[in-house]
Structure 1
Amino acid sequence: MGVDEQLLLIRNYNLWSDISDEEYEELNLIHHFIEAKRNEYLYFESHLHNKLYFLKEGYIKIGYIDESGREIVKEIIRKGEVFGQITLERNNLRGEFAQAYKGNVSLCAFNIEDFERLLQQKPGIALRYSKLVGHQLKKVETRLVELLHKDVRSRLAGFLLQLINQEIKPGSTAVVSNFLRHEDIADLIGSSRQTVTSLISEFEAAGWVFFTRKTISVPDVKALQKLVAVG
């Protein structure tokens, strides 16, 4: 990928959208740009991590290996989201891995010390970063609350609503890319693959959602919202 293409990807990221050309050069953003191939690890549990990653293209799988050796998915990071040391602490990701998922990925990576200096220099970026992290933490909090207080049907409905949130428009079907295995969804909502597969079939039979190999479409958002409310 050429320098111009890299700069275009960086500009398309909300955090850097208001930065001038001079500031791009001053902050040396282009040198923080990296790419990773499908299934490549950005970090793994045996490493110490002091980096922050902003995902520009693709998907990142965040997970860990349990005592039985099974891979557990904690989160799927999508374009426009941040992962790694998002609280700007040091070496607190032991046991966690981040892996390029479903395809190649493009990212912007910072050492914690470098990013802290950047936030001190650019208060506007600091404000946008705090909002970005707050939004992601809110999603995690919502999922934890649902895990504690909702049944699995409601949790699946809530997860799907979170997934399509930015695509919801009154009177139209919300459609997103289908980048998730049923096993991944099960990990993310605290269920089993068999249960998730059964519930998806139930939702499809009711006309609430439709899964294909490439897309997830939700023609009946209100039905899912009702499930979450009563679950």
Structure 2
Amino acid sequence: MPRSRDSKLARSPLPYHYPEERLFGDLSEDALKTLASISIPATYPKGAVLFVEGEAPRGLFVISSGRAKLSTSSPEGKKIILRLAERGQVVGLAGTISGKPYAVTAESLEEIQANFIPRQPFLQFLREHGEAALRVAQLLGEVVHATYDDVRTLGLSRSAEEKLATFLLSWMDQHGPKRGEARVSLTLTHEEIAEMIGATRETVTRLLTDFRKRQLIQVEGSNLVIQNRAGLEGLIRSQRPAG
């Protein structure tokens, strides 16, 4: 059974439904039955730690609902959130496959439901089901490319202002409506946003206030409204080197 620090597991008689659009959606019926037999469903409260950076890999988690943050910390205690994992996404996959310690810490941002799959049964499952092994390889490749994009964004951004503008636009594109009003739920704290863009909480608070004064954005409770998308995009373009 997966151990979760600061959490009480709520067991279900059947594994949570695997979202079709993600890792295991295209598997055969027999493969899905086998996968269900080695999965352990559980509910984790907000703030539960699924695993810790440097910990020996016990297995992976497939999130069925809710969100978790994946972060890494320096010896001095500085933390960076590398990405958020949402419904249908997998956390702990790289360590489970390689056998190397988890490279990040995974913590729930809200109550989540997830299927935990222990490492050895999962590896045996991959040996027996080639289509699943291929999909895992594809997913690991996608993670690598996403990491390159994130590093490129942070590495080429000249200022916290550009990083924040990039983050807000990316958040809107990923989580906002496909058309119509540019409004999206943003439940992250200023501290969490800062950890995602490599800035301080004070800097994020100051910049958000500045963006509101310039009527680039509006914050209504937990909702973010992009009032001037072109203006935010201009902050990004204006700070890129010419040529």
Q: TM-score, normalised by structure 2?
A: 0.75
Between the aligned partners of 1:100 and 1:170, the Cα distance in structure 2 is 27
Partner of 2:7: none
Structure (1 or 2) with the greater helix fraction? 1
Kindly report which structure 2 residues correspond to 1:85-104, keeping only aligned pairs within 5 A, or say none.
85-86=93-94, 88-93=97-102, 96-101=104-109, 103-104=110-111
TM-superposition CA deviations, 1:85-135 (whole Å, max 9, x none): 4262123326x422222x211112223443333344444444443444334
Q: Which position in structure 2 is the counterpart of 1:214? A: 222
Q: Percent identity?
A: 21
Q: 2:208 maps to which residue?
A: 200
SS of corresponding position for 2:192: helix
Contact 2:19 2:64 in 1 (8 A): no
SS in 2 for 1:179: coil
Match of 1:55 in 2: 63
Query: Equivalent residue for 1:140?
Result: 147
- Contact 1:56-1:108 within 8 A present in 2 as well: yes
Whole-angstrom CA distance in 1 between matches of 2:138 and 2:204: 32
CA deviation after TM superposition for structure 1 residue 171, in Å: 5.6
Structure 2 residue runs without a partner (length 5+): 1-10
Partners of 1:142 and 1:74 in 2: how far apart? 11
* Residues 35-76 of structure 1, C-alpha deviations (whole Å, 9 max, x = no match): 212222112347322422222211212234544456554433
Per the alignment, residue 38 of structure 1 pairs with 46
Question: Partners in 2 of 1:10 and 1:45 — Cα distance?
Answer: 26
Equivalent residue for 2:87?
Answer: 79
Measured in 1, the distance between the counterparts of 2:130 and 2:233 equals 37
Pairwise CA RMSD? 3.1
- Distance in 2 between the 1:114 and 1:136 partners? 23
When residues 222 and 51 of structure 1 are mapped into structure 2, their CA distance, relative to the original with a 3 A threshold, is farther
In the alignment, is the contact (CA less than 8 A) between 2:50 and 2:108 conserved in 1? yes
Q: Which aligned pairs between 1:12-23 and structure 2 lie closer than 5 A? A: 12=20, 14-19=22-27, 21-23=29-31
One-letter amino acid of the counterpart of residue 105, structure 1:
I
Q: Distance in 2 between matches of 1:46 and 1:53?
A: 17
Structure 2 residue matching 1:183: 3-state secondary structure: helix
Closer, same or farther in 2 for the Cα pair 1:222/1:130, shift >3 Å? farther
- Structure 1 distance, partners of 2:217, 2:36, is 44
C-alpha distance in 2 between matches for 1:215 and 1:189: 19
Pick closer, same or farther for the CA change 1:202–1:35 going to 2, 3 Å. same
C-alpha separation in 1, matches of 2:208 and 2:44: 32
